[in-house]
Amino acid sequence: MSSLTVTAKGQVTLKRELLQHLGIKPGEQIEFDKLPGGELRVRASRPAGSIEGFLGLLAGRTRKVATIDEMNEVTARGWAGEP
């Protein structure tokens, strides 16, 4: 278990080994969840994608054009956990 010292400003610095364990790189964010008993859960904050980023993901990578019905079918299978 690692221990950290709290500064007069109420700040702590996570050691490099802890950041590497979390997969955190400089400039990235960390999330904390308050748990019962005065405990915290720490994890890397992973930004959620946007619909704009998703829509252009496959642009220009295929010549196949899918119909709305085909897209709806694939989406329904994906939500159901089917391949």
Non-local (6+) Cβ contacts of 17 within 8 A are: 2
Q: In the prediction, which pLDDT does 47 show? A: 72
Q: In the prediction, which pLDDT does 8 show? A: 96
30: nearest Cα among 38, 40, 39: 40
CA–CA distance, 82 with 77 (Å, rounded to integer): 5
What is the tens place of the pLDDT at every residue in 7-55?
Answer: 999 999 999 999 999 889 888 899 999 999 999 999 998 777 777 777 7
